[in-house]
Chain A
Amino acid sequence: MTGTMTNADREAAEQVRDLPGGDWPLWEVFTQSGQGAPHEHAGSLHAADAEQALQNARDVYARRGGVISLWVVPSGAITASSPGESGPFFDPGADKAYRHPQFYKVPRGVRGL
């Protein structure tokens, strides 16, 4: 069927193929399950553009209800921390006891703290 595409079409389609996921790029889907709840990662899917990604996310990840908001993000746009560096990256946060309320003593009998 590619034979029926014009040069402009082919050029356009090739840009898409550069993206991960073949013909249609991959998107990550985040769903919010109630007022005030955070958006949580639900999974991913393929779509040609953002509108289609939203529609597909609705049908794939919200078809049983219980979702009040959706985010879709091109998978390539996500930068993740590297597991190889997880030691230097996260461990320094683990021994800062003074960031947690239990670190501080409160005189007996005092409430509301």
Chain B
Amino acid sequence: MTAPSVVPAPPEAPNALFELLQRLGDDRLVLGHRLSEWCGHGPILEEDIALANIALDLIGEATMLLRLAGQVEGQGRDEDALAYLREAVDFRNCRMVELPNGDFGFTIARQFLFDVYSVVLLDALTHSAHEELAAIAAKALKEARYHVRHSGDWMLKLGDGTEESHRRVQRALDELWRFTPELFATDDIDHAMRQANIAPDLGVLHEQWEALVRDVIDRATLTLPHDVPSAPGVRGGRQGFHTEHLGHLLAEMQIVARSHPGAKW
């Protein structure tokens, strides 16, 4: 037996910008998809319309981000190819957004935690050295500012509403909290993007985020969970390590597109 004659090539240097754009785009695509599941099933007609509006904003943002990602990658993939033809392990969203909707309290608590994250992150990205990304961030920031007004108001209403609503939304917060460190965990991609002045320091954003979240949580008479994992865990959605829920979500989302290869819609 001889030694293998071919030494495996070193893995191609990951295109950090492509990775970053997928992270931003996939967060919004997956969360927008989850919110769209509410359509027709909301607690009251007015709220059905509100949730659909937020879903539309998020999917619109995802479309722009994934389109740009495809251009940056340069392999001829457009936003639909990225949304409909990637496997779960190739998605780069944080895990929080792929969790099933749960009750309205869970949906709102997740939305609130994400919306605040989105506002601080997009605000920073408007100063990105990457002009197209900065322009998308500026547009998305306006939308996110409205989203947090909506979810923040509901946090107050549910937290300081009835005993039942308080209990439900507190339970949702407790369940979601362990997924929040992932939003601010940094890896080589983040370092490279920060070096290039394309993306901000997530550590700084973490403090802003927590202050804003804490303010609303306090006013909503809720309590921040204490059992915060100090480290965000070794790997998460940003590296393709998802919960089992994402595969099911994608199976549904991609079924028609994948059943007819090459078809136009």
Contact = CB atoms under 8 A, between A and B. Distances in A.
A60 B163 contact: no
B258 interface: no
Interface stretch (A30-38, A45-53, A73-81, A84-92): A45-53
B150 A24 contact: no
B46 A56 contact: yes
Interface in B120-134: none
A59 B46 contact: yes
Interface band, chain B: 10 to 19
Contact of A4 (B45, B49, B162): B162
Given A55-B150, A59-B53, A47 B162 contact: no
A63 interface: yes
B56 to A, nearest CB: 9
Given A48-B157, A52-B153, A4 B50 contact: no
Nearest to A45: B46
A4 B150 contact: no
A52 B185 CA distance: 35
Given A48-B157, A55-B150, A55-B153, A60 B46 contact: yes
Interface in B2-50: 44-47, 49-50
B164 interface: yes
Nearest to B149: A55
Given A55-B149, A55-B153, A4 B46 contact: no
**Residues of B contacting A: mostly:** helix
B164 A5 contact: yes
A5 B163 contact: yes
Contacts of A56: 46-47, 49-50
B163 A46 contact: no
A24 B44 contact: yes
Contacts of A59: 46, 49-50, 53
Nearest to B48: A59
Nearest to B157: A48
A94 interface: no
Contacts of A24: 44
Contact of B46 (A5, A46, A51): A46
Contacts of A1: 164
Contacts of A55: 50, 149-150, 153
Given A55-B153, A63-B53, A4 B44 contact: no
Interface of B: 44-47, 49-50, 53, 146, 149-150, 153, 157, 161-164
Interface of A: 1, 4-6, 9, 24, 45-48, 51-52, 55-56, 58-60, 63
10 contacts: A5-B162, A5-B164, A46-B44, A46-B46, A52-B157, A55-B50, A58-B146, A59-B49, A59-B53, A60-B49
